[in-house]
Structure 1
Amino acid sequence: MRDASPYVLWFDEYTEDDRPRVGGKNASLGSMITAGLPVPPGFAVTTDAYESLRSHPDLVAHVRGLLDPLDVSDSRLLQKVAAEIREAIVALPIHADIEEAIRTAYAQLSAHCGSPAGPEQGIGVAVRSSATAEDLPDASFAGQQDTYLWITGADSVVEHVRRCWASIFTDRAIAYREQFGYDYRQISMSVGVQKMVDPRAAGVAFTLNPSTGDRSQVAIDASWGLGESVVSGEVTPDNFLVDKVLREVVERTISDKAIEYRRVDGVVTVCEVEDERRTVQCLTDEEICAVAAMARRAEKHYGRPQDVEWAIDRDLPDGDNVILLQARPETVWSKAPRASVSHGAYDPLTSIVSTLVSPMHRKNQ
């Protein structure tokens, strides 16, 4: 039996009415889980918890005194002010009822996943920022706040929730809000706490060809280990094009994948890939088609092209090991005007099935 709290919302209990309380990223996770997509379990620390910061008048006055006169074009001063605000938030004690709600939910998540949860026990989780401004139609706040991977133990989860709150005041986020006229006092923060996947391989998939906008194809980028090496551009990934109608791999490029991110002694570490794996295709053809099928399910769920992050969980059996980590709507080709088709050039296949290149930001400390 889960404890009811205004400060915690489980992803599998999400409804669209909850979106303002959990931010865009957590809303997406909740929506996909309730739709039956293979997303790891977890919960959101709601914006009600973040709003408790606004009840600290000394903090509010301190932030206002630093930000109101700030010239964001002075990069050195901007970095100094941003760091000072984050330090003040991290140093602020969390209200006892909020901390208890986070600890209780983490213990319940750990128990659900088969692990005890004491102060230094429990499952490894991702602690992800989910600001309420991330999905505004005229701005892109994605990647401006922090995400922490492989956080273990209730004490550490509470600490990293606080760090996510503080990351709403990174120098980049402050400057962006100033540039586009968004008031920091109108933006709130939810934090997602989600079971980590231990990937054998991971990457991204686009439910159209990001080079051409062709909606008859799914494009997959894949590499060994965590997907960070792909989204950060540190490795040239294997690339596969899958035909949506034929459900076959129609084009493949196998790359030399020199590094991978993987967990070593509890820490996410950059490791060299062994010579025998560097130029080997990191997915089987069955896994490629399974990733494509899952991406298409996300596209159908949202009713528009998607850019999804996925992983092959080394701890799950074949057939159940393709996991959906995140999905975002396409923002490049969907804004491009559709070319009219003359009668002589009509292509029925493209017409039937005719991107989202917004990389995930991951900061691990």
Structure 2
Amino acid sequence: MTEGNFVDYVKMYVCSGKGGQGSAHLHREKYIEKGGPDGGDGGRGGHVIIRGNENLWTLLHLKFKKHIRAGHGEHGSKSRSTGADGEDVYIDVPLGTVVRDTETNDVLFEITEHEQERIIVEGGKGGLGNWHFKSSTNQTPRYAQPGMPTQEKYVTIELKVLADVGLVGFPNAGKSTLLSVITSAKPKIADYEFTTLKPNLGIVKYRDYQTFVMADIPGIIEGAAEGKGLGHYFLRHIERNSVLLFLIPADADDIKKQYDILLDELRRYNPEMLDKERFIAISKTDMLDDELKAEMKQELDNNLPIPYMFISSVAQKGITELKDILWKMLND
């Protein structure tokens, strides 16, 4: 999936159908002069329904659908015939989608399962025909109910990536390179910060045909929790990951300090993120000789509070061991 095709935020206007009007028809037939009321009910207006689809990974198909309207219910007719219901409109979304009310920013619901359905706006109820109002004192009612009106709403549809492992790190830490080596994904790779502007997903093939999903999240900078850099735009994608893999380059000035800053940004954005399993991969270690690596290891053993390992995506060193560790963390 190319970066331009990854759409994870859409605003739209949704409107249900109005209910059909009940009929005030009076029965007329040869030799039956006063057949009485026989007006049918109006049909229900169409709903607008959000539906989960496990085959979708992005909201690209909704990018240019800004107005969604369901069908109106048909009017009732003679012989107590009920009008046809208005056509429901289904909006398919990837799993991990959050639907908000645009005006209040309240979360209406989340879609996390395949074919899970939730109604955003309900169609108007059809009006009752005049035969419902027949009584001993009113045997020929010449009125019927009108259908209920439409419901309308402005909604924001937001995707939070559902991945097993989320890559967390500063810009240019080597996240995209690791993803391209460990999966079949083809993220954009370049030697400058913020090469990745939108999350990339890749499927990691493990032993015995087993797989797990890894997400390359755009680089975090200090102050991201307050919206600096790409801010909340990408931090929300980390919320759904089971394991957080912190990627810190071996040439960083202070590896422990970088880890602390990254962790603090996650904590300030959402403290629940600290409950996730965490692991550190020291990247770009192909430029270290054995002596320098031993010195770093001694220092990191004393400073880093969680397990870590050295890897090199370019030289493909430590990649198989990293897969083993991540698989174990996901399945413990």
TM range (shorter): under 0.3
TM-score by length of 1: 0.23
Give the TM-score of the pair, scaled to structure 2.
Answer: 0.25
